[in-house]
Amino acid sequence: MKDIRLRARAKINLTLDVTGKREDGYHLIQSIMQTVSLYDGIYMKRIQKDEIILKSNLSWLPTDNRNLAYRAAELMKAKYGITEGVFIEIDKRIPVAAGLAGGSADCAAVLVGMNRLFDLGLSMKELESLAFLLGSDIPYCVQRGTVVSEGVGEILTPVKCQCPMCYVVLAKLPVSVSTATVYRGLDWQSVQDHPDTKGMIQAMAEADITKMGRLLGNVLETVTIPMHPQIAQLKEELVHLGAEGALMSGSGPTVFGLFKEEENAKKAASAIRKKFGLKEVVATKIYHSDSGKRGEQRNGRNKI
Ligand SMILES: C[C@@](CO)(OP(=O)(O)O)[C@H](O)COP(=O)(O)OP(=O)(O)OC[C@H]1O[C@@H](n2ccc(N)nc2=O)[C@H](O)[C@@H]1O
Ligand SMILES: Nc1ncnc2c1ncn2[C@@H]1O[C@H](COP(=O)(O)OP(=O)(O)O)[C@@H](O)[C@H]1O
């Protein structure tokens, strides 16, 4: 039976602005999203019996249609009349409910995986449209890279210059933050400090990581930091440890710091782990696709 291995990578938001609110309560955003190397491993296999079997290394992660990866397989099966089944195994490494889009990345990977496993021949654009039915961040997780995300997350414009290579420390407090609660708590019209999206793109074009560090900005911090003030302490400590800048990712609570040197990022990660007694601290880096094409076959293994 045909099988496939994929890497579902996490994202950070280098900038996140909210520019309006739709009548249905969803917020209009402008955000520079960036893929990082940290990934969940996804293994998928066609099975004869018409069912979806999902397993993961986290005992408490749902394995039914509360899991976004399951929902992706369910949607594809229904839409394309697939009567065979699929086995999905998730090796979860991205912290959950963290502002890193781990669930969305798994979901996007399963959409890509179903397309390949069942030879559906769908284009990236078609996969992104399906992705948007499942969540606002998921079209981006299909596309990946350095992208300006607008609308509620469905309007994606790749940034022409690549984000310069730098090292990223992710530190997650042991608390869960609901994206819906954070957006509900935002009074977007009274936000004073809007991130400079254009300035950030310019800094990336100049490969000026120091300037990028200065321009990091996320309006959702105004909601999540009062709920969890340690986020501000983590940001301060990362800068103290040599980060060019630090920011909360998405709706939080993960904080990331940007470092020029890998060694410094690793040292900072271990210092943060000790000082704050945190388990979920990862030193990773900006992800640059080396093939330019998602799902490219390398060394006999499918990677995304
Ligand atoms: C904040 C961001 C920034 O990248 O990321 P995360 O923190 O989730 O990683 C995203 O906008 C999150 O996208 P995602 O997590 O896919 O959101 P969804 O599942 O579609 O929606 C969860 C809830 O958030 C609110 N929501 C979401 C997106 C948006 N543009 N405006 C909203 O108000 C809605 O109330 C919705 O019920
Ligand atoms: N495959 C999955 N991995 C992680 N979380 C998932 C998954 N499927 C559904 N979820 C649920 O989605 C919610 C958001 O998870 P996640 O995508 O990790 O966070 P965020 O949206 O903050 O980046 C969690 O409450 C989690 O229970």
Pick the CATH number of 3-160 from 3.30.230.10, 3.30.1010.10, 3.50.50.60, 3.20.20.10: 3.30.230.10
Q: Cβ distance 171 to 246 under 8 Å?
A: no
Contacts of 123 (CB under 8 A, 6+ apart): none
Across the range 111-120, mean pLDDT stands at: 98
Domain residue extents for the chain: 3-160, 167-285
Q: Does the pLDDT of residue 297 top 50, yes or no?
A: no
Instruction: Tell me, yes or no, if 17 is annotated catalytic.
Output: no
Q: Cβ distance 42 to 7 under 8 Å?
A: yes
**Geometric angle at alpha carbon 264, from 263 and 267, rounded to 5°:** 90
pLDDT in tens, 272-284: 999 999 999 999 9
Question: Cα(227)–Cα(185) distance, rounded to whole angstroms?
Answer: 10
Q: What is the pLDDT of residue 85?
A: 98
* Ligand 2 pocket, residues with Cβ under 6 angstroms: 61, 67-69, 90, 96-104, 106, 179, 250-251
**Residue 144 structure tokens:** 């990946």
The residue contributing the CA closest to ligand 2 atom 13 is 97
The residue contributing the CA closest to ligand 2 atom 15 is 97
* Ligand 1 pocket, residues with Cβ under 6 angstroms: 13, 16, 25-27, 29, 31, 99, 101, 104, 135-137, 152-153, 179-180, 183, 250-251
CA of residue 65 to ligand 2 center, whole Å: 12
CA of residue 15 to ligand 1 center, whole Å: 15
Instruction: Write down the CATH number for the domain with range 167-285.
Output: 3.30.70.890
Domains 3-160 and 167-285 share a fold: no
The b/e string for 185-200 (b: 16+ C-beta within 10 A; e otherwise) is: ebebeeeeeebebeeb
| Nearest ligand for residue 176 CA | 2
pLDDT in tens, 19-61: 999 999 999 999 999 999 999 999 999 999 999 999 999 999 9
Q: Which class for 290: exposed (0-12), middle (13-18), buried (19 or more C-beta within 10 A)? A: exposed
The residue contributing the CA closest to ligand 2 atom 6 is 103
Cα Rg for the chain, rounded, in angstroms?
Answer: 19
pLDDT in tens, 133-144: 999 999 999 999
Helix (H, G, I), strand (E, B) or coil at 223: helix
pLDDT in tens, 181-227: 999 999 999 999 999 999 999 999 999 999 999 999 999 999 999 99
CA of residue 223 to ligand 2 center, whole Å: 20
Report pTM.
0.96
17, 40, 106, 137: the active-site residue: 137
ipTM score here?
Answer: 0.96
In percent, how much of the chain has pLDDT > 70?
95
